[in-house]
A and B are shown apart, each in its own frame.
Chain A
Amino acid sequence: DAKTTQPPSMDCAEGRAANLPCNHSTISGNEYVYWYRQIHSQGPQYIIHGLKNNETNEMASLIITEDRKSSTLILPHATLRDTAVYYCIVRVDWGSSGDKLTFGTGTRLAVRP
């Protein structure tokens, strides 16, 4: 599975867009990009995933570059409740290691009032 690189921390003002980058330069053609977040002392929460095209749902947008070597998770109007650690994960659909999600250290996003 491709390795991902994320900045350790970021902050943004409440109401503004939060843009969280992720580099995955060794991604292969059949690997998906998944984003999760974990609010303190809670279980991780699935946000969004994509393969090639940009994706949008009620929580966020995912922008994947044309070469697929990086992606950006966009929270369009960040609120204080979006303060969390955000994880970018790259996985093949049904990999040989048994559906395991490998969470690295992620990006700690702080939304300030």
Chain B
Amino acid sequence: DGGITQSPKYLFRKEGQNVTLSCEQNLNHDAMYWYRQDPGQGLRLIYYSQIVNDFQKGDIAEGYSVSREKKESFPLTVTSAQKNPTAFYLCASSSRRPGRAYEQYFGPGTRLTVT
């Protein structure tokens, strides 16, 4: 089955530690995205990548880093510089076909808790 996988589902870390969240897709999509969701709120874009070896900052990139070495993978690192890292992190991907730019497919999410 085609889809997006994120691991782990739940992650706990101590403050001051970097942590990397995994995102893999087998949909052959060019574009991939990372969003953050806080309780009761909408999604906010952290980073996105429209092609391998290229990525752009979203609205809240500070304290995060990404890489896009393979089409299928777009890992997100939450660094110790991120002041409020506890959140629900969602990865998505999309085809870049005209007229379908925002048909994004989301993974199940990773709930990160930093204490």
Interface residues of A (CB under 8 A from B): 32, 34, 41-46, 49, 51, 87, 89, 91, 93-95, 98-106
Decide yes or no: A94 and B109 within 8 Å by CB, A100-B45, A100-B58, A101-B43 being known contacts: no
User: How large, as a class, is the contact surface on chain B?
Assistant: 20 to 34
- B42, A49: Cβ atoms under 8 Å? no
Question: Could you tell me the dominant secondary structure of chain A's interface residues?
Answer: loop
Point out the residues of chain A lying under 8 angstroms from B92, CB to CB. Answer: 43-44, 101
User: B12: CB under 8 A from chain A?
Assistant: no
How many whole Å from B39's CB to the nearest CB in chain A? 11
Question: Could you tell me the dominant secondary structure of chain B's interface residues?
Answer: strand
C-alpha gap A51/B101 in the complex (Å): 12
Contacts A98-B48, A99-B102 known; 8 new A-B pairs at CB < 8 A: A93-B98, A98-B45, A98-B56, A98-B58, A100-B45, A100-B59, A101-B45, A101-B102
Q: How many A-B residue pairs have CB under 8 A?
A: 69
Map CB proximity to A onto B84-115 as digits: 1 under 8 Å, 0 otherwise. 00001010101000111111111111010000
Decide yes or no: A43 and B106 within 8 Å by CB, A99-B48, A100-B45, A105-B42 being known contacts: yes
C-alpha gap A27/B58 in the complex (Å): 23
How many whole Å from A44's CB to the nearest CB in chain B? 5
- 5 CB < 8 A contacts A-B: A43-B92, A44-B106, A45-B106, A49-B100, A101-B92
- A93, B99: Cβ atoms under 8 Å? yes
C-alpha gap A103/B92 in the complex (Å): 14
